[in-house]
Chain A
Amino acid sequence: MKLLLLFSLSAYPVTAVLSLLPGRRSQLSGWINPAGSMLAALLGFFPAMHALGGGAVEFQSAWSFPIGSFHLRLDALSAWFCLPMLMISALAASYGRGYMRHSGDQTSVNLHWFFFQLLSGGVYLTLMAWDAILFLIAWEVMSLSAWFLVMFDHENPTVQRAGWIYLAATQLGTAFLLIMFVMLGADGGGLDFTLFLGTSRAAGLVFIFAVLGFGAKAGFFGLHVWLPEAHPAAPSHVSGLMSGVMIKMGVYGLLRILTMLPAWAEWWGWLLIGAGAVSGLGGALFAMAQHDIKRLLAYSSVENIGIVCLGLGMGMLGFQHQCHTIALLGMAGAMLHVLNHSIFKTALFMGAGSVAHATGAREIDLLGGLQKRMPVTAAIFMLAAAAICGLPPLNGFISEMLIFLAAFRGVMLGPAPDVSVALGGIAVVVSLGLTGGLAMMCFANVFGVVFLGEARHACCEHAHEAPWSMRLPMSLLAAACVLAGLGGFWLIQLAASAAVSIHPAGMNDGAAEMLLMETAVLLKVSALALGLIVVFLLLSLARSRLLRDRDVRNVSTWGCGYASPSPRMQYTGSSFVQPALHAFRLFFRVKTSGDPPSGRLPVRARFSSYIADPWLNGFYEPLLKAAAAGAVRLRRIQHGRVHYYVLYLILALIAILIWSLH
């Protein structure tokens, strides 16, 4: 197992370097990477399943750094996050081969593949690192290679801006992590994770720093500003990998720290429920307001991280009050949602990428009618959209159902021992219910506007179906949505063993009972789903039998008697979401501009609306500008006069002396 793991891990850096070797002409790097990632996935699958079965894989060797060691450990929690990482990186690399084929000069494409493999490898190493220094190195490899990937189209000013915002956000997050690890290290007496276990004396503060540092990566609402900038800027398979895998490292990191902290406090659970509710609702609302399909998907990632947080928070509340089945249900639901989200979000990003590839447009309101021109992409996108809305029988439903069930069980406890589990249950059900409804509005809108109806703009006229190298990975992901939905009763076993590893001491008791019940429930769900699919097929057959010999005509859509409708008269995505945006107008400002039609015979009119992210424009930008202005003011003491500098030195020395005397 150890060897398999090391081979699988080294496949990434090796293929990264290999992909730099082919020359300017050769497209070999496009083949090396999918092959490398697939090899890594094949090799890595066995250790991961072994770890999920209960046996951890460990490797330790001394290294030449003065602190820490090269200590790897794959336990059930890491292994659970490894599974989507291995799968998505292999599929994204295969998709990327088709996607990058015609993009620019080969040297930068080779470089792109180099960083792509480093990103996958960095994520993999982060998951296994059992030493704070190693963890931070892997974390930075991951974050920085993602930055290089985002900056692929580096001459474009929007991409540059996106890249800098991402870099600032990720480094700010790492700063919090540094403080956190220093605190853990000081209490634990070393930087190996084993020393951290249960030794922290300021657990609450460590938790806060973990939420801030890892939350910036995961994209909690408020810390999410880099997501809607970086995801549209990156090539689509990179967005898929970032959204499907990289942001989950924030969740992983938070959980890893939770396993180390000695005692949890009740407010941690409430903090996560609060962060989850705000992320879920905020993400769903802002996703709806977007005009750019990839920006929309980025906000939807914020929403889904919120759902994961709701599950975790509910689980922690349950754990705090000794309701171990609730704890396990919430945590297992969250774990399952991590996996599910990486499947359908990557499929959606790939679908959006195929659309952009075929039409050159990402603006939702320019597209339309692509169902007829790209039927396979459309079907995949629809399936993934239904899955992300949590609709049965797909995988999103299973994880949301488990989180809902945890909340229902919490409420059913009633006020008797302590009211907070019940109140947590109410909060989770309300926010998850509303988030689900808004998400459905958002995704019905984006699918309906982009793929259905008629083409709104000339860019769709010549759209073509994506090549098979792009279609195949997408189809596999779509199939995974269905299989993970119908096979929920099996996946929950794995998810439960990952959830137990978050706090093995308390949760082992609840595990057996919960698994027994939920496996039976999910089996019934799958059985009903299969039955209904059969009913659907039979009814469809009956319907087409009825229509077989009848008069079936094709005409134009009913327009209340108007005979020559044009595609421009279709309902747009912006109008579709307008009622919802109007109802929630308290939370954002819609900027509109345009010339209304005027005169008796109006000729031209124009209207555009834009919704800026209030966090970026209203909070971070003023804050950072103020910080920059303050820094400029500090420059006054750096004037180049040496004798003043000597004075500073002496003053500093005196200050230190006084402090040490004290």
Chain B
Amino acid sequence: MISPVSISSVAAALILSPLLRSIINRTKAGFAGRQGPPWLQPYYDLIKLLRKGAVYSRTTTWIFRASPVAGLTMALGALCLTPMGGENSVLHFEGDLLLFAYMLGLWRFFTILAAMDTGSSFEGMGASREAFYSALAEPALLLGLEGLALKAQSASLSGIYAALENSVSAGGHAATLIFIMLAFLIIYLTENARIPVDDPTTHLELTMIHEVMVLDHCGVDLAIIEYAGALKLWILGLLITGLFVPIQAGATWLNLGASILCLFLLAVLVGVIESVMARFKLVKIPQLLTGAFVLAALWGVWIARTQL
């Protein structure tokens, strides 16, 4: 039941996901005319952090210490459900996309609680923003997946992405897929705390969202958070890349390679967006997410029109 391809797609995620950060940073460096950090810098950072001790706030409790591990666990769980290259994921069943969405929810729940556990005003602010923006992103994500489920006649991530390959190569519903892809791109930038929603390199705690929530984490815990964050970039990226590639590259292993290549291209795209855009004012982000929601809902028009 578990194929070598699905196992190696999980292994690829575990090994290669920190590289996405590197690609984004190098792209940004290229735009700014800098040389940028070495390609393996995220790995060096992880190794350095894993060798450190820890400093904890006296205010914090076990929740603060359990939260990074819980986040990584959820990332691994979500990874098991995400298909890659049109192949079935390690575990797949009808409705696994709901479990996928809600595991991301549990991850967020723990991150928010850990931030509030410090009693810091800044982290409370970040937690509040994270909770609100993800509440707005959630219906858009589910609606987009629902549209895909209709096209693919399957309520499982693996089923959807396996069926889409055929339908895309058959030339059906390209417009719907593009709209849903755009919606997913906005959700991708929101969930991964990238520009224009959040700036991962900003210096001012007051304006941060995700970075401020992990302000008090350090050492091993921070390494776990960073690694889980890299996995999130990978997993959610697969939801997007699965929509436009691979249009049946032929062999399964070739599909897998093409998917990884597309993820790298997505990282380049994120780097380009970060280089050419500034982040939005915080009050504009709900509007952006409403836009994502509308994009994800456009397939509904097709349904209604067919009836009329």
By a beta-carbon cutoff of 8 Å, the part of chain A in contact with chain B is 368-369, 371-372, 382, 386, 389-392, 397, 400-401, 404-405, 407-409, 411-412, 414-415, 418-419, 422-423, 425-426, 429-430, 433-434, 436-438, 440-441, 444-445, 447-449, 452-454, 517, 520-521, 524-525, 528, 532, 535-536, 539-540, 543, 546-547, 550-560, 565, 567, 569-571, 575-580, 582-583
Query: Whose C-beta in chain B lies nearest to the C-beta of A454?
Result: B119
Q: Which residues of A contact B147 (CB under 8 A)?
A: 411
Query: Whose C-beta in chain A lies nearest to the C-beta of B111?
Result: A444
Q: Closest CB-CB distance, B272 to chain A, in whole Å?
A: 29
Do A444 and B109 contact each other (CB < 8 Å), given the known contacts A423-B303, A552-B54?
Answer: yes
Q: Which residues of A contact B58 (CB under 8 A)?
A: 554-557
Query: Whose C-beta in chain A lies nearest to the C-beta of B77?
Result: A532
Set A372, A536, A555, A565: member contacting B69, Cβ < 8 A: A536
Q: Closest CB-CB distance, A318 to chain B, in whole Å?
A: 15
CA distance A619 to B59 in the complex (A): 45
Cβ-based interface call for B103 (8 A):
yes
Q: Which residues of B contact A550 (CB under 8 A)?
A: 52-54, 219
CA distance A436 to B99 in the complex (A): 13
Query: Whose C-beta in chain B lies nearest to the C-beta of A419?
Result: B307
Number of interface residues of B (CB under 8 A): 84
CA distance A426 to B262 in the complex (A): 31
A440 contacts B150, C-beta separation under 8 Å: no
B116 contacts A452, C-beta separation under 8 Å: yes
B139 contacts A433, C-beta separation under 8 Å: yes
Query: Whose C-beta in chain B lies nearest to the C-beta of A420?
Result: B307
* Besides A414-B150, A452-B61, A558-B57, 6 new A-B residue pairs in contact (Cβ under 8 A), listed by A number: A408-B155, A425-B146, A445-B128, A454-B59, A540-B69, A559-B120
Consensus secondary structure, chain B interface: helix
Cβ-based interface call for B8 (8 A):
no
Cβ-based interface call for B252 (8 A):
no
A521 contacts B93, C-beta separation under 8 Å: yes
Do A449 and B63 contact each other (CB < 8 Å), given the known contacts A397-B102, A528-B91?
Answer: no
CA distance A418 to B155 in the complex (A): 20
Set B77, B129, B155, B215: member contacting A528, Cβ < 8 A: B77
B124 contacts A408, C-beta separation under 8 Å: no
A441 contacts B118, C-beta separation under 8 Å: no
Q: Which residues of B contact A441 (CB under 8 A)?
A: 128, 131-132, 135
By a beta-carbon cutoff of 8 Å, the part of chain B in contact with chain A is 50, 52-61, 63, 66, 68-70, 72-74, 76-77, 80, 91, 93-96, 98-99, 102-103, 105-106, 108-109, 112-113, 116-125, 127-129, 131-132, 134-139, 141-143, 146-147, 149-150, 153-155, 205, 215-216, 219-221, 224, 282-283, 286, 297, 300, 303-304, 306-307
Set B73, B127, B138: member contacting A448, Cβ < 8 A: B127
A-B contact pairs, 24 of them (CB 8 A): A371-B63, A391-B102, A391-B105, A392-B106, A408-B146, A423-B300, A426-B143, A437-B138, A440-B135, A441-B132, A452-B116, A453-B116, A453-B117, A521-B95, A532-B74, A540-B69, A550-B54, A557-B59, A557-B118, A558-B215, A560-B122, A570-B119, A571-B123, A575-B128
